[in-house]
Structure 1
């Protein structure tokens, strides 16, 4: 099982760079960045807090942090035209020498759309648009010329050059909806990602397998990735997101469970790992358990 770190983009760039460089130097496999412009407006969190922009940040890290894979969790489709995103992704793959994973999702965070006047359609229309965006991304990143006549996007003799270093550049889709999203994953994704403890990931992975069977897709061709907040040694907070750990022994068991269900990659947000040297020490402990 691969192990990657997810430094929160609400920190100073120097702190994020420290985490990424430490991961590179100590055998971690990847570094991911989320795509948001502000914190989510939830109780106990200041929605006016700082947030570094994802595309700029991941490119900066890719230029100065060698070896590890770089990825996005995940670019919101509502924020950028997919043709623009395809060119960004191809360029970043060249910057990193072929180490980029293009993580995309349908978009969801309400306060960003409200403040910036960006449309956030109802779920069905949002997913319809996302499917069209995936068609555009596949075309521009994997074919010489793309023509597409959709309801939301129209391309005529469109090119994206140079193509990515990787052929194909892997597309990761974030989402766990069992009615439709996992079916979209089965058709378009090279990798899948969602939040969850091992039992939930095993369940949703089985649902994804069933969608793969319906579409004639080999389920082994889609890498399974997941994340949960991690506590190395301390109390487990009562938060909305899934949390693993609390002690090193409990954390070891949880990591073993992820491996046991066949998870390809665990992505660790750094939000509960502390700061400075404490965070680096927590990273070393996690790395020693996988």
Structure 2
């Protein structure tokens, strides 16, 4: 049951993991949710900076970027296409966007030694003045592994490495010295200085694998992210809660986020086509319908909704869509 007493509030002063929240009254009650952008990295750095700084001024809560080296082809073939490196880009953007949370969605664990990744994350947290979320996944894109000579491993092998890595990263960030002797990684008397600004830099695990990924999330993650419709988020969220119970953890300690491609229109044919082509990943409808869909995500336990701009067109069109979101959707609930 959603609470029904408070007015709409945008609180930009609250600190911590939930630092920026919208409280929305859509006629069904009041709920809190963060709204973040996910810009693509195939354009120029100047365009990316324009998109991110504009979103910051409009009031978006966070920005997330993918960690890939080339366009995905679905197999081991490669195609040319601009793909900015995630961590150097994130550091640069964090220095010019002073408020929004910043994070990777998600970093492939196979790409970097976990100790080196922890070092990188700590420095980006310092650059951002304590706004980083380290999003981490097992790695999945075949072609960049083959092209760059990175071992791909089996699904099970990648997940086992992910589980070791998240423990190493957590220990390095939190402790003076780390010793870890695992099946895949060994860390010996390892320091990490300087420490991140956040006392507990949040680690997000991305993925919906019900047996292993969600168990790793329950044991080790501060945040969890997955693509999917509200019904998918609800079903997988219940499985996550079961894993939390088995490891003795309160599931409410884990912040949940989801993403969908965003299409808003008053044309029914456009809306129908977007929904049919999106396979549950498209958030499509009139402004009124979008508000209702957001309520469904919230009811499914989602704390943050992330909107990729992959289908929005040019930089100017992206900015128009961000303005449209704030003017025609958020304005309804203020």
Match of residue 286 from structure 1: 325
Root mean square deviation, CA, Å: 1.7
Q: Does 1:169 align with 2:208?
A: no
Distance 1:147 1:183, change over 3 A: same
Aligned residues between the structures: 289
Does the aligned pair in 1 maintain the 2:125–2:197 contact within 8 Å? yes
1:46–1:256 Cα change, 3 Å? farther
Question: Aligned match of 1:249 in 285, 288, 296?
Answer: 288
Which of these two proteins has the greater Rg computed from alpha carbons? 2
Residues in 2 aligned to 1:262 and 1:205: alpha-carbon distance in whole angstroms? 7
Q: 1:47 to 1:251 in 2, by over 3 A?
A: farther
Of residues 143, 153, 168 in structure 2, which corresponds to 1:121? 153
CA distance in structure 2 between the aligned counterparts of 1:201 and 1:37, rounded to whole angstroms: 28
The one of 123, 126, 136 aligned to 1:104: 136
Q: Which whole-Å deviations, capped at 9, do the CAs of 1:196-230 have from their partners, x for residues lacking one?
A: 11111111111101100000001010000110111
Q: Using the TM superposition, give the Cα deviation of residue 258 of structure 1 relative to its aligned residue in structure 2, in angstroms.
A: 1.2
> Residues of 2 paired with 1:120 and 1:241: CA distance?
28
TM-score by length of 1: 0.95
Q: Residues 3 and 287 of structure 1 are in contact (CA less than 8 Å); yes or no, is this contact kept in structure 2?
A: no
Q: Residues of 2 paired with 1:279 and 1:131: CA distance?
A: 37
Task: Tell me the distance in 1 between the aligned counterparts of 2:248 and 2:323.
Answer: 41
C-alpha deviation, 1:252, in angstroms: 2.3
Specify the alignment match of 1:8 in structure 2.
40
Q: Which residue of 57, 60, 76 corresponds with 1:25?
A: 57
Partner secondary structure for residue 165 of structure 1: coil
Note the C-alpha offset of 1:61: 0.3
What are the equivalent positions in structure 2 for 1:220-259 lying under 5 Å apart?
A: 220-233=252-265, 234=270, 235-236=273-274, 238-239=277-278, 242-259=281-298
> What's the secondary structure of 1:272's corresponding residue?
coil
CA–CA distance in structure 1, aligned partners of residues 326 and 121 of structure 2: 29
2-structure distance, mates of 1:276, 1:125: 39
Matched, 1:267 2:299: no
Q: Give distance in 2, aligned partners of 1:249 and 1:184.
A: 37
